[in-house]
Structure 1
């Protein structure tokens, strides 16, 4: 591995902007992201998932309005799994997905609505999806999320339409190759041979993203 720099029904409420700011502080270290946009540090949390609804008629409607693609398993049928045997629900409802069904070429981006650097790079990830989606599967994982409604709204605002899973129980951060997941955003890329590259950093734009992933994925720019 190379290193760079059964879901249930749950309740939630919509957050105003001021409340969202408080959530950001609660979900990260006291410093959060610095002025240069360094990734948010994920604070340890007591075991057990919070009472958050990530699948409701309202969220389903919001996801459809945002044009976010449906979640679907990968097509790995042979060979060892490169991602963990972990099933995560689909953000906004739909089919839960076992990560171990995916194989490369693959890009997985771990993010959350309270993470400013995460939101900044969403347009670049969408551009990558539009330009290279026929060659590379792009998948988002909304991690440590406190407001799925806000997450979907931000995806719509930034135009990000690639499939999105959600991990409110912080299981991803305990599984290879994501462990230790101490900060978000994190991007994991898997090439066609199953070689994994972990990129615990944020990206300013598509060129910045391609500088990091084109080589590992064998893409022509």
Structure 2
């Protein structure tokens, strides 16, 4: 594994060239929580630096938890064998090491609905983190500094990976990944629920995830 700057994959960007243009599904303040369409980064786009010393310092100041692999030691993997780097520095993590109960949220700093729901996800992490692993994946990010600043602003401290190569969007259960935010929930038996929506608050999030995760409210 190499550290420092990672180059975006031209192949991955080309493979997702049919993804819709960026922009909220429609205008208007009321639709703040509508999914945000993802625009693939064009071939030849500049490198994205996601673990510079400045980003490492910002991540530490924001109190974002260290990235760590999951505890799966046997049984079929529920997430793809895909190793992603840690946003703001740290050890890369293989998604296939995770098992349920698990909540994975895919987001980006340019996505208004993602910004809106981060506090609810953090509240969930604080209240249920001992029962459910919570993991963020910063997807198709162009400004990791703004992503870390947003996490700091919203108080989100759960671990964060980053996918600047758009590989996640080619892997089940995340495919198709044309809109963010998207939340993938895995229960203790490995059953997967995909939620292509955003959440207004903790109650809204629990309405969607409490039953599949077997949580008492």
Return the TM-score normalized by structure 1. 0.87
Q: 2:158 aligns with which of 156, 162, 165?
A: 162
Question: More deviation in 32-41 or 47-56?
Answer: 47-56
Alpha-carbon distance change, 43 to 161 in structure 1, aligned in 2, over 3 angstroms: same
Distance (whole Å) between structure 1 residues aligned to residue 45 and residue 187 of structure 2: 32
Question: More deviation in 44-53 or 92-101?
Answer: 44-53
Equivalent position of 1:9 in the other structure: 4
Distance (whole Å) between structure 1 residues aligned to residue 158 and residue 93 of structure 2: 14
Q: Would you say the 8 A contact 1:7–1:96 is kept in 2?
A: no
Q: 2:185 aligns with which of 184, 189, 192?
A: 189
Distance (whole Å) between structure 2 residues aligned to residue 190 and residue 168 of structure 1: 24
- 1:29 paired with 2:21, answer yes
Equivalent position of 1:16 in the other structure: none
RMSD over aligned CA atoms reads 1.9
Alpha-carbon distance change, 140 to 48 in structure 1, aligned in 2, over 3 angstroms: farther
Superposed structure 1 runs of 4+ greater than 6 Å apart: none
Distance (whole Å) between structure 2 residues aligned to residue 168 and residue 30 of structure 1: 16
Q: 2:172 aligns with which of 176, 194, 200?
A: 176
Give, in angstroms, the shift of residue 196 of structure 1: 0.1
Give, in angstroms, the shift of residue 46 of structure 1: 4.1
Alignment of 1:107-122 (within 5 A): 107-122=103-118
Equivalent position of 2:16 in the other structure: none
The answer for unaligned runs of 5 or more in structure 2 is: 8-18
Alpha-carbon distance change, 30 to 135 in structure 1, aligned in 2, over 3 angstroms: closer
Equivalent position of 1:20 in the other structure: none
The answer for unaligned runs of 5 or more in structure 1 is: 1-5, 13-26
Equivalent position of 2:72 in the other structure: 76
Equivalent position of 2:128 in the other structure: 132
Count of residue pairs the alignment pairs up: 202
Deviations 1:158-196, CA, capped at 9 Å, x for gaps: 000000000000000000000010100000000000000
Return the TM-score normalized by structure 2. 0.88
Q: Would you say the 8 A contact 1:28–1:40 is kept in 2?
A: no
Q: Would you say the 8 A contact 2:125–2:134 is kept in 1?
A: yes
